[in-house]
Structure 1
Amino acid sequence: MAIVLSGVFVLLSQWQFGRSTQPEVPVNPASEQVQPLTGTLQPGEFFHGSVADQMVTAQGTYSPDKQVLIPGRLHDGKTGYWVVSAFAVSGAPALTGAGASPQTWIPVARGWVAEPGDAAAPPSGAVQLTGRLLPSEAPVGGKDPKPGEASAVSVAELINDWEVSSYPGFVSATAEVVGGQDVSAAAAPGKLQPLNIGPQPPGQHINWLNLFYSIEWVVFAGFAFFIWWRLVKDDYHRDLEEALEDEGAPTSEQHQHETPQTGQHQQPGPHEQKVQP
């Protein structure tokens, strides 16, 4: 019975441990509804987590001389490069201050290539861009990128190279429509492969109360097993003591043949002579 209880307690511990790590929030289906970039995020502001993964659209133009490669990116198990281009957003607020550019830009990860020579120039002319809005990556420290490359899709790193004002994030392109035709990596066959970045899984948080309960059930299981072990041990010692007592106790036949040693007067035998005083 104690072993069964221990098993039940272990199962309860596993259940409580599973409940101790749950997603903070479910994936928001509203993030898949395409929203205007200019109404979703403002340049010069902090990138809010609520707009991460949001599908956005914007009109603007690419600059062919503002394109970099991000090395060390995986695609279908192969290591290659992300192609990131600067996109001037039409209708975006212009920033003010020292170093601000007349137009506001946003980096766009247009696709993946296996070799640097496979990266073609971005489409020219007015582009209707659609993609997933993502927060800026952190630059990789201690690494000096090669010419035409960047360590990460870091807005802080890119705006220094491009000398432009930028949104505090970047877009992973899913469509680039020029003159009514989609020329993006997802629609046009070529060496540029689409990134296909989906919504990121929600973060996990730890429910400390459930985690404490899971540990508590393990303690209960150990205590039940300990009680069972003590009962078995005590029963074994009791049977052993009874067996030893049975082996050491004299039988009734042995009592009959034993001669009293003390406390009784023995009568002399027929051949024994009495000593006269």
Structure 2
Amino acid sequence: MYRFLLTPRWIALHVVVLLVIPAFVFLGQWQFGRFEERSANSDRVTANLAAPAVPVESLAGQEIDQDDRYRTVTATGAYDPAHGLLVRRRPQEGRPGYFVLTPLTLADGRAVLVNRGWVKAGATADTPPEVPPPPTGQVNITGRLRLSETEESSGLRDRPGLPAGQVLLINSDAIGQRLPYRLLDGYVELTGQRPETDPAPAPVPAPDVGSGGGLNLAYGVQWWLFIGVAIGGWLLLIRREAADRRAAAAGDVAAEETAPTG
């Protein structure tokens, strides 16, 4: 009765099922891995945001460690508006605009890039935005420590030929080549300063920690449920085919028994 399982049509179905099952296993494992990765990242960022503030020199003196992203840092110095920059393609709340990037020179002669906030774009593409000036003299700032941006981390493609004073990526290595002093690694996303200024660029929102990869967990469970659907569907088709063949065989026997004899 089950010899039909060795026909070419059914062998092709067996192959498809045998290929689909490990594929679904792999996709489920990949989603679970992403869940663990994002959950760990969410926990780390949340802890860094809640950690006590430390001087920026203690974390950004050399290359910033990945685990120090979004740590709250402090710095004291004077802004250098002459070397300020605008960072292009930075929409906020659905509106096009720029980040205002200004170096803060420190007592030891080094400087750190400070993202002072967001300003809306001008009326046209050629109209420069209105940028509130930074405070003069010595200031004390507090902010979130960020890694330098790259094309891979930001999803933006850097390109030459931008208007003077504008960049696409906040990269301390690239920007530092144009400055007369040494920059600390990364940059600071401003959350507070003394003295305050009014008007001032709009604050950059805090990072969205999110659900820690909850969607990835749901997708992983979904892929593994598909394994059960594939196996259940395969067995159901086999049972249905076998039942149809038994019914057809029983019909043939009944026809032979009721057929008139010679």
Question: Taking structure 1 as the reference length, what is the TM-score of the superposition?
Answer: 0.66
Report whether the alignment pairs 1:231 with 2:239.
Answer: yes
Q: What whole-Å deviation, never above 9, does each CA across 1:225-248 have from its counterpart, x for those lacking one?
A: 323322222222222222222223
Please report how far the alpha carbon of residue 35 of structure 1 lies from its aligned counterpart in structure 2 after TM superposition. Answer: 2.1
Aligned length: 219
What is the CA–CA distance in structure 2 between the aligned matches of 1:148 and 1:104, rounded to whole Å?
A: 21
Report whether the alignment pairs 1:49 with 2:66.
Answer: yes
What is the CA–CA distance in structure 2 between the aligned matches of 1:203 and 1:128, rounded to whole Å?
A: 33
Q: What whole-Å deviation, never above 9, does each CA across 1:133-155 have from its counterpart, x for those lacking one?
A: 00111275332221121222111
Q: What whole-Å deviation, never above 9, does each CA across 1:5-32 have from its counterpart, x for those lacking one?
A: xxxx9xx979877534313312342433
What is the CA–CA distance in structure 2 between the aligned matches of 1:35 and 1:191, rounded to whole Å?
A: 23
Report whether the alignment pairs 1:107 with 2:120.
Answer: no
Q: In the alignment, what sits opposite 1:64?
A: 81
Structure 1 residues 240 and 200, CA gap change in structure 2 (3 angstroms): closer
Structure 1 residues 40 and 31, CA gap change in structure 2 (3 angstroms): farther
Q: Is the 8 A contact 2:146 2:186 kept in 1?
A: yes
Q: Is the 8 A contact 2:86 2:101 kept in 1?
A: yes
Which of 226, 230, 243 pairs up with 2:251? 243
Q: In the alignment, what sits opposite 1:76?
A: 93
Larger % of strand: which?
1
What is the CA–CA distance in structure 2 between the aligned matches of 1:242 and 1:203, rounded to whole Å?
A: 59
What is the CA–CA distance in structure 1 between the aligned matches of 2:208 and 2:255, rounded to whole Å?
A: 79
Structure 1 residues 156 and 145, CA gap change in structure 2 (3 angstroms): farther
Please report how far the alpha carbon of residue 176 of structure 1 lies from its aligned counterpart in structure 2 after TM superposition. Answer: 1.3
SS in 2 for 1:168: strand
Q: In the alignment, what sits opposite 1:130?
A: 142
CA RMSD of aligned residues (A): 3.4
Which of 14, 25, 33 pairs up with 2:51? 33
Q: In the alignment, what sits opposite 1:21?
A: 34
What is the CA–CA distance in structure 2 between the aligned matches of 1:175 and 1:63, rounded to whole Å?
A: 18
What is the CA–CA distance in structure 1 between the aligned matches of 2:64 and 2:211, rounded to whole Å?
A: 17
What is the CA–CA distance in structure 1 between the aligned matches of 2:141 and 2:104, rounded to whole Å?
A: 9
Q: Structure 1: state its 5+ residue gaps.
A: 1-8, 93-102, 259-277
Structure 1 residues 23 and 123, CA gap change in structure 2 (3 angstroms): farther
Please report how far the alpha carbon of residue 69 of structure 1 lies from its aligned counterpart in structure 2 after TM superposition. Answer: 0.7
Larger Rg: 1 or 2? 1
Q: In the alignment, what sits opposite 1:147?
A: 164
Q: Structure 2: state its 5+ residue gaps.
A: 1-20, 123-127, 152-156
Structure 1 residues 245 and 58, CA gap change in structure 2 (3 angstroms): same
Q: What whole-Å deviation, never above 9, does each CA across 1:206-231 have from its counterpart, x for those lacking one?
A: x9xxx7x9877645543333233222
Please report how far the alpha carbon of residue 77 of structure 1 lies from its aligned counterpart in structure 2 after TM superposition. Answer: 0.5
Q: In the alignment, what sits opposite 1:170?
A: 187
Structure 1 residues 214 and 34, CA gap change in structure 2 (3 angstroms): same
What is the CA–CA distance in structure 2 between the aligned matches of 1:17 and 1:142, rounded to whole Å?
A: 34
What is the CA–CA distance in structure 1 between the aligned matches of 2:202 and 2:225, rounded to whole Å?
A: 51
What is the CA–CA distance in structure 2 between the aligned matches of 1:53 and 1:202, rounded to whole Å?
A: 17
Structure 1 residues 203 and 161, CA gap change in structure 2 (3 angstroms): farther
Among the aligned pairs, what percent are the same residue? 18
